[in-house]
Chain A
């Protein structure tokens, strides 16, 4: 008789890297659908380019590093990185922008640091920040929520950078609500005047279209918390601190600061709070540390949005807090049971 003997732990939750990554990918679907509905097929085309390039560069790097290729490729982590980056990119992105960003994210931010589990920075956000710094023009061609780009038009732009006849980039793309708020506040307009002048850019809660995308990502994120893929600490800390900062400054000067709800339901807030900041590799690991980490992201996002050079600063906030993670983890080690707190 053959008795197999295994070592502890004898109980496991059934979670594995691939299962978690797959669940996160599935939870992105409602947000992606809203994204397609409001901002066109671009996000799908971006994903169709990003995922194969992520897998190819991951396979190439694993081959160069002489690591097994198949188990790492089938854990969905490269696909998740590619998907997050593709969602973050503008809906009118040429194919090379997506390709360069994804390859950079996988090769430099992930594999050169030692692959899955060793990267101190969130790869998707490194790719995004790199693209934002290197290609500022291409990274700001967002379609408005009221666009009429058909699938074929988007595909043609992605492959050949050709727009439908009678259109140019300036006539078809539009500043995002966050961008409008930022530039007009800089011109000493009040929030009231801005929302009156750009009525079709704003919805009930935040930017038009953006509020629904954010609500859908919120829905997906709550599902992730419900099935215990992520814990509530980081999203709550991110959203709470962003809301608190926005509330304080709005109470201080209501004309010169966007409302807390606008901050929560525009730009990358919900996607970032639930899907990017919660990356188990680059986020803080202790429970108390996660609260500090999330609060740092929320505060930095508010600072960059309000006084920084970019209309949205989620990527930079996440990367800055990634840097602080070792320190946070060091100072928030829980007390070992039975030991004195010194």
Chain B
């Protein structure tokens, strides 16, 4: 098996990150990342969908004819999203109200069908599970980071409305970073999402390039020593 679990994890979290590299699922990502809690809520819902859909699609991969695979994938993903939507409505009703249309829209998140087609339909169930988990986590982490940046710059707070996810006991988590902050409306509005995501992609590319340069620099040094 060429896909080791380490490779799957590295792909999902960094080198093939669905948000920063594949740039899939932009619509929910840009729309709801204005606070940390919203980002976390949608990220986790997407991760759960991704795991369930990857596992089910991997389980039926030998019985679905290739001609009809896409409608079958869509059907499976849609059923799973419906279940998750109904559960969120039951247990996190206020968060459900805020995220609104973006929960049913997880169905149309290209990332999920992309993983189903590119990975789950060709790999074993444990591998598909790991791929769903790490792809989802990578997506959630980027969402969370973008949400943190936008909330900190836009509202000057962290963990605002945390009670929607963890109940009233978690209210103490809300942090006000600056006293008497006016707020920076642009960060909360859609332009802030585009700018923030752009900066994050640029930052990742910069890190990648730096790592690559270091990797190339090491053998050169060894070669010099060898010649001596």
Within 8 A of A (CB), among B71-97: none
In angstroms, how far is the closest chain A Cβ from the Cβ of B120?
38
A32 within 8 A of B: no
Query: Which B residue sits closest to A130, measured CB to CB?
Result: B186
Q: Is the CB of B185 within 8 A of A133?
A: yes
Task: Annotate A247-281 by CB proximity to B: 1 below 8 A, 0 otherwise.
Answer: 00000000000000000000000000000000000
In angstroms, how far is the closest chain A Cβ from the Cβ of B108?
27
Query: Which B residue sits closest to A136, measured CB to CB?
Result: B185
B191 within 8 A of A: yes
Q: Is the CB of A134 within 8 A of B195?
A: no
A108 within 8 A of B: yes
Q: Is the CB of B185 within 8 A of A135?
A: yes
Total interface residues on B, using CB and 8 Å? Answer: 7
List A contacts of B185 (CB < 8 A).
133-136
Docked CA distance A133–B195 (Å): 15
State the total of A-B contacts with C-beta under 8 angstroms: 13
Docked CA distance A127–B98 (Å): 31
Within 8 A of B (CB), among A114-157: 130, 133-136
List B contacts of A134 (CB < 8 A).
184-186
Docked CA distance A133–B185 (Å): 7
Q: Please classify the interface of chain B as helix (H, G, I), strand (E, B), loop, or mixed, using the class held by over half of its residues.
A: helix
In angstroms, how far is the closest chain A Cβ from the Cβ of B20?
18
List A contacts of B189 (CB < 8 A).
133
Task: Annotate B44-58 by CB proximity to A: 1 below 8 A, 0 otherwise.
Answer: 000000000000000
Query: Which A residue sits closest to B183, measured CB to CB?
Result: A134
Query: Which A residue sits closest to B154, measured CB to CB?
Result: A134
In angstroms, how far is the closest chain B Cβ from the Cβ of A82?
20
Docked CA distance A135–B182 (Å): 9
* Max chain A Cβ within 10 angstroms of own Cβ: one of B185, B186, B195: B186
Task: Annotate B173-187 by CB proximity to A: 1 below 8 A, 0 otherwise.
Answer: 000000000101110
List B contacts of A133 (CB < 8 A).
185-186, 189, 191
List A contacts of B182 (CB < 8 A).
135
List B contacts of A136 (CB < 8 A).
185
Q: Is the CB of B186 within 8 A of A108?
A: no
In angstroms, how far is the closest chain A Cβ from the Cβ of B198?
8
Q: Is the CB of A108 within 8 A of B191?
A: no
List A contacts of B191 (CB < 8 A).
130, 133
In angstroms, how far is the closest chain B Cβ from the Cβ of A132?
10
Docked CA distance A108–B191 (Å): 12
In angstroms, how far is the closest chain B Cβ from the Cβ of A66?
13
Query: Which A residue sits closest to B202, measured CB to CB?
Result: A112
* Max chain B Cβ within 10 angstroms of own Cβ: one of A130, A134, A135, A136: A134
Query: Which A residue sits closest to B187, measured CB to CB?
Result: A134
List A contacts of B195 (CB < 8 A).
108
Docked CA distance A135–B186 (Å): 9
In angstroms, how far is the closest chain A Cβ from the Cβ of B202?
9
Docked CA distance A130–B195 (Å): 12
In angstroms, how far is the closest chain A Cβ from the Cβ of B147?
19
Docked CA distance A130–B182 (Å): 16
Docked CA distance A134–B189 (Å): 9
Docked CA distance A136–B191 (Å): 16
Query: Which B residue sits closest to A138, measured CB to CB?
Result: B182
Query: Which A residue sits closest to B184, measured CB to CB?
Result: A134
CB within 8 Å of B: which residues of A? 108, 130, 133-136
Closest 9 CB pairs of A and B: A134-B186, A134-B185, A134-B184, A133-B186, A130-B186, A133-B185, A133-B189, A108-B195, A135-B185
13 A-B pairs whose Cβ atoms sit less than 8 Å apart in the complex: A108-B195, A130-B186, A130-B191, A133-B185, A133-B186, A133-B189, A133-B191, A134-B184, A134-B185, A134-B186, A135-B182, A135-B185, A136-B185
Q: Beyond the given A133-B185, A133-B189, could you list 9 further A-B residue pairs with CB under 8 A, ordered by the A residue number?
A: A108-B195, A130-B186, A130-B191, A133-B186, A134-B184, A134-B186, A135-B182, A135-B185, A136-B185
